[in-house]
Amino acid sequence: MTRKKPWNRIDVPVYSVSSYNETKNNMNICTYVTAISMHPKKFIVGIYKNTCTLYNVQLYPKFVLQLLSEKQFNLIKLLGKTTGLNSDKISRIKTKLIKWKEFDILKDAIAIIEMEAIEWMDAGDHWAVLCSVTSYKNLNDLEPLMLSTLRSKKIIRA
């Protein structure tokens, strides 16, 4: 019998949120993402508290959810374990970026989804943000980066 907690027994895709506040773009890692409505298309996205991403999205409620590809696992330490409050993550990965609208996005992402935050709920160490999808674009036919890959490479705890 497994000793894993039930929520650690499932595999989920890994996303990055690209946010913007008129002066600074930022990216982070996000796995707390779920589609919640088909018509109109809406998602709930968990945004960690006390982060540059949270500050940006509160100031400018549009952001881009990027579905990461398996070959992007090497970005996790920078985007997920470094804060944009103390580090300019965007300048460190500028060769991996392209512009889409006013956002920097990762050119090797599988797809991008433009979101608009419409409701907020305090969810403990994250804010659960209900978002409307305003546009999307498929970029690459690659395999998605999954949480199990990060676990197997010991980038995150199992």
User: Is position 79 within any domain?
Assistant: yes
Handedness of CA 43, 49, 53, 55 (dihedral sign): positive
Percent of the chain past pLDDT 90, that is, above it, reads: 78
Place 5 in a pLDDT band, splitting at 50, 70 and 90.
confident
> Cα 72–74–126 angle (5° rounding)?
85
Q: Is the pLDDT of residue 1 over 80?
A: no
pLDDT tens, 44-81?
Answer: 999 999 999 999 999 999 999 999 999 999 999 999 88
Q: What is the CATH number of the domain that holds 34?
A: 2.30.110.10
In a domain, 157, yes or no: no
Name the pLDDT band for 158 (thresholds 50, 70, 90): low
**pLDDT of 103 over the 90 cut:** yes
Q: What is the mean pLDDT of the chain?
A: 93
CA-based torsion, 78, 84, 88, 94: positive or negative: positive
Residue 40 DSSP class: T
The answer to the question of residue 1 being in a domain is no
Domain that holds residue 46: 15-151
> According to the model, what pLDDT value does residue 4 have?
83
Per-residue confidence at 99, pLDDT binned at 50, 70, 90? Answer: very high
Say if 9 falls within a structural domain.
Answer: no
pLDDT at 133: 98
> Is residue 26 a part of any domain in this protein?
yes
Residue 27 is assigned to a structural domain of this protein: yes
Residue 24 has pLDDT above 90, yes or no: no
State how many domains the chain has.
1
5, part of any domain = no
Q: What is the helix (H) or strand (E) element at residue 121, kind and residue range?
A: strand 111-122
In angstroms, the CA 53 to CA 148 distance is: 24
Examine residue 8 and state whether it is found in any structural domain, yes or no: no
Residue 136: in which H helix or E strand, if any? Answer: strand 126-138
